[in-house]
Amino acid sequence: MQKEPINLSFDALVIGGGIAGGEAALNLANNGYKVILIEKRLSLGGKMIMLSKVFPTLDCSACITTPKVSEISRHPNITIFTESDLTSIEKTGEKNFIAKVTRRPRYVIAEDCTACQLCEQACPVIVKDQFQYNLVGRKAVYIPFSIASPKVAAIDIENCSLCGACEKVCPPGCIDFTQEPREYIIHAQTAIVATGFRLYDPTNVPRYSYGEARNVITSMQMERLLAPTRPFHTILRSSDGKVPDKIAYVLCAGSRDDSMGNPICSQICCMYSIKQAQLLMGALPMADITLYYIDIRAFGKGYDEFYEQAVGMGVRFVKGKVGRITEKENGNLTLRYEDIATGKLKESEHDLVVLSVGVKPNSEPADIFTSHKLELDSLKFVKQSDPLLSPAKTTIEGVFVAGTATGPKDIPDSILSAGAASSEAISYLNQ
């Protein structure tokens, strides 16, 4: 049993191992600074590594993310703590931050695991796979997903039957049920907050019937259905295995609506819905895809052309806000909406509805700063002290912010902001 926390020192502490945190860590490391990257999940890569493709280029998301994550993992100046909780950060002086970190046990000796997955085969337990958004099962001992980094098994101890089958079959003998949480004290000169965002929970809008109607899914679930590492062998309804052929997207599901508790635009739901519609047209050429939207916000480079491409492919765009989704006996859905073009209330039937969910803040980082207050804006995103001239600065000197922690952003903007945060951090370190 560990008696004393382990003390470690770094130049920079990066909180969050998504694409923005990873990029910021890499920039610092490439400039010779020693960085520790803290990630609460089992793998680096954040939400981006779970996506099918990216807009507007339709590049494979995993193909972009995996080399980047691999570079971060192999960099000699970067130390990575996954499955770790940062419980507090105290600023004790100029360029002096002290963070307390707990590393949760994986019950697997990471250095010895070869990712052979024999443990998974032997495990008799099945639970919902959170990395596939509960569409399929996983074992109690599992590799989070095929391109996880680190690609190391972990045991979900809450669901483990303690049968020991994994331990019996593991060739290098790396299963270790005696592992316990390990406490660390991290000393760093600067910190970058890259804690990302949360997806809007559509159960907050009962009229969309998410969680009630069997064939209403979220856009993230559709991402998984479209990804090469998809949960099913093709795109199917999870309620009955039907190949859908009349699919509706409800844009701004949990965005731009005070009544839903989220007045802001997600900045991504138009474009990812258009992307998914194009991918669906490729996967299901006979399918009828309709997007119900308020406005199409195609603001980035190549985005409007991407929208026009979808129109050209036959994706149907209906300007109108969906008021209610009801389920029919056969599992199909009736959408009641206001058609802005005609000014009439209409209904249409679809066999699968995708809610293009919005972006909500992750307000967790505010609670971990103990000696100084990391201020949030009115929407609970991390407040930028100088949003125009130094957008990476927070209300604590020496603490910078990257990615969607400050508000909704697409991937290129997240990467750009990570560049800004790492540059500001380097300037601060050189002062």
Partner 1 sequence: MSTEKTMTVKILRETRKVSDEVKENLKQFNKDKKSILEALGQGEKTIAQLSEATGMSREKTMFLLMSLIKFGFASAGTVDDMDEYFTYKLKTNEQN
Among the listed residues 1, 32, 74, 233, the single contact to partner 1 using CB under 8 A = 233
Q: How far are the Cα atoms of 25, 32, 224, 234, 393 from residue 20, in angstroms, in the given order?
A: 9, 19, 21, 31, 15
Secondary structure of residue 354 in the 3-state scheme: strand
58 near partner 1, rule: CB under 8 A: no
Q: How far is the CB of 178 from partner 1 (least distance, A)?
A: 5
Binding footprint of partner 1, residue count (CB under 8 A): 41
Among the listed residues 67, 164, 206, 314, the single contact to partner 1 using CB under 8 A = 164
Among the listed residues 8, 115, 116, 127, the single contact to partner 1 using CB under 8 A = 127
Which residues make beta-bridge pairs with 325? 335
Question: Which residues, 379 to 398, sit near partner 1 by CB under 8 A?
Answer: none
162 near partner 1, rule: CB under 8 A: yes
Question: Which of 404, 295, 289 shows the shortest CA–CA distance to 351?
Answer: 289
Among the listed residues 6, 63, 163, 311, the single contact to partner 1 using CB under 8 A = 163
Residue with tokens 């010895």: 112
Nearer to partner 1, 168 or 344 (CB): 168
229 near partner 1, rule: CB under 8 A: no
Neighbours of 409 (CB within 10 A): 22
Nearer to partner 1, 240 or 305 (CB): 240
CA of residue 128 relative to chain centroid, distance: 18
Stretch that binds partner 1, among 38-46, 229-237, 274-282, 300-308 (CB under 8 A): 229-237
Nearer to partner 1, 158 or 258 (CB): 158
Q: How far is the CB of 242 from partner 1 (least distance, A)?
A: 6
114 near partner 1, rule: CB under 8 A: no
Interatomic CA distance for residues 288 and 396, integer angstroms:
51
Which residues make beta-bridge pairs with 189? none
Compose the 135-154 pattern: x for residues touching partner 1 by CB under 8 A, - for all others: xxxxx---------------
260 near partner 1, rule: CB under 8 A: no
Secondary structure of residue 323 in the 3-state scheme: strand
Q: Which helix (H) or strand (E) holds 128?
A: strand 126-128
Interatomic CA distance for residues 400 and 23, integer angstroms:
14
Secondary structure of residue 66 in the 3-state scheme: helix
Interatomic CA distance for residues 217 and 207, integer angstroms:
14
Nearer to partner 1, 162 or 345 (CB): 162
Q: How far is the CB of 239 from partner 1 (least distance, A)?
A: 5
Which residues make beta-bridge pairs with 36? 13, 79
171 near partner 1, rule: CB under 8 A: yes
Q: How far are the Cα atoms of 46, 230, 411 from residue 134, in angstroms, in the given order?
A: 17, 12, 25
Nearer to partner 1, 238 or 266 (CB): 238
178 near partner 1, rule: CB under 8 A: yes
Nearer to partner 1, 31 or 117 (CB): 117
121 near partner 1, rule: CB under 8 A: yes
Residue with tokens 């909780």: 85
For β-strands 126-128 and 137-139, DSSP reports them as antiparallel
288 near partner 1, rule: CB under 8 A: no
**CB 36 within 8 Å of CB 184:** no
242 near partner 1, rule: CB under 8 A: yes
Interatomic CA distance for residues 339 and 344, integer angstroms:
5
Secondary structure of residue 427 in the 3-state scheme: helix
Among the listed residues 236, 366, 379, 426, the single contact to partner 1 using CB under 8 A = 236
- Left, alpha or beta for 18 (phi > 0: left; psi -120 to 50: alpha)? beta
Q: How far are the Cα atoms of 51, 146, 166, 276, 324 from residue 73, in angstroms, in the given order?
A: 20, 16, 26, 30, 46
Interatomic CA distance for residues 70 and 149, integer angstroms:
7
Q: How far is the CB of 274 from partner 1 (least distance, A)?
A: 25
378 near partner 1, rule: CB under 8 A: no
160 near partner 1, rule: CB under 8 A: yes
Tokens (6 digits) for 321: 């806000």
175 near partner 1, rule: CB under 8 A: yes
Question: Which residues, 65 to 84, sit near partner 1 by CB under 8 A?
Answer: none
Among the listed residues 5, 66, 177, 183, the single contact to partner 1 using CB under 8 A = 177
Among the listed residues 102, 159, 348, 363, the single contact to partner 1 using CB under 8 A = 159
Site residues, partner 1 (CB under 8 A): 120-121, 124-127, 135-139, 157-164, 167-168, 171, 173, 175-178, 214, 231-234, 236, 238-243, 245, 286
